[in-house]
Amino acid sequence: MRNIVIGAAQMGPIQKAENRDAVVLRMVALLEQAHEAHCNLVVFPELALTTFFPRHYMEDQKEVDAWFEVEMPNASTQPLFDAAKRFSIALSFGYAELTPEGRHFNTSILTDNQANIIAKYRKVHLPGHTEYDPERDFQHLEKRYFEPGDLGFPVWQSQNAHMGMCICNDRRWPEVYRVMALQGAELIMLGYNTPATNSQQREFVVARASSEDDELLVHSCDMDQCNFGKATVFDFDRHRRIEHYGLITSQTGVVLEEQKR
């Protein structure tokens, strides 16, 4: 049996003033719980190390860049990597990545159980807008601060399973799952960061710094379930009808100018 015990590390709100060291302490506390629960893998949210800064409009690029990591691990995240290695737990978490060439991505990584980074994904589907929108109670400026990921949707072999990653808004696109499934993905790690309603956003943005809302949900996943029925009715490789799927890959229909942006 290929069993992976997975911890979904749901984190409460992170305030603007909360620094990375404080956030990493919260993440390490969740890792300790994961160790108690015998987790093999823990998945943290999108942009896990800071507040969700695309809510805030900034013009000064220096101010923007301060939310980004220029290397990983770094001094602030090293305690997280150390704890993961000590507990032999693989990690996946999201952060804002600034490359040596000055490119900005909304990124997530995967480590092996010795805290070595073995995989990286850069968010492809960036929601929101590029300019300040006075109509909105809360901004969503991912398109301003990031460029679309340039790594596609790769799949990696780790823990005896095929694994892929995507981030938040990517989850709304069936193409994402399909592209990874066609490469044999059995497990997709997906961190997200998205308050559901305006009033929830107001509460999170304005009022609370909530390590008390941090929570670990644990499930033991039998990866062999991915092969369920493969020999018979559910052999999707065999029963596909690609001659009928053209609409998925070709751009069709009416595309309004504003949708192209």
| Beta strands 161-167 and 187-191, pairing class | parallel
Instruction: Report if residue 172 touches ligand CDT, rule: CB under 6 A.
Output: yes
- Is residue 168 part of the annotated active site? The answer reads yes
- Which residues, including other chains, have CB under 8 Å from residue 75's CB and lie 6 or more apart? none
d(CA 141, CA 225): 39
CB of 140 to ligand CDT, least distance (A): 4
Closest to ligand CDT by CB, 173 vs 245, is 173
Rounded CA-CA distance 176/188 in Å is 10
Alpha helix stretches (DSSP H) within 152-242: 174-181, 198-202, 236-239
Active-site annotation holder among 39, 46, 142, 166: 46
Interaction between residue 128 and ligand CDT (CB under 6 A)? yes
Among 12, 79, 127, 154, which residue sits at the site for ligand CDT (rule: CB under 6 A)? Answer: 127
46 as an active site residue: the answer is yes
CB-based contacts of 27, cutoff 8 Å, min separation 6: 9, 11, 44, 48, 80, 93
Report the nearest approach of ligand CDT to the CB of residue 128 (Å).
Answer: 5
In the numeric block, which tokens belong to residue 5? 């015990």
- Asked if the bond preceding 174 is cis, omega within 30° of 0, the reply is no
Compare residues 108 and 169 and give the one whose CB is closer to ligand CDT.
Answer: 169
Question: Is 51 near ligand CDT (CB under 6 A)?
Answer: no
**Active-site option among 97, 123, 142, 186:** 123
Is the CB of residue 148 less than 8 Å from the CB of residue 124? yes
Q: Which of 39, 97, 166, 168 is catalytic?
A: 168
Q: Which of 8, 11, 31, 46 binds ligand CDT (CB under 6 A)?
A: 46
Task: Specify whether 175 is catalytic.
Answer: no
# residues near ligand CDT by CB under 6 A? 10
Distance CA 55, CA 142 (A): 8
Q: With CB under 6 A as the contact rule, which of the stretches 90-98, 154-162, 168-176, 224-232 interacts with ligand CDT?
A: 168-176
Active site residues: 46, 123, 168
Q: Which residues of the shown chain bind ligand CDT in the complex (CB under 6 A)? A: 46, 127-128, 140, 168-169, 172, 192-194
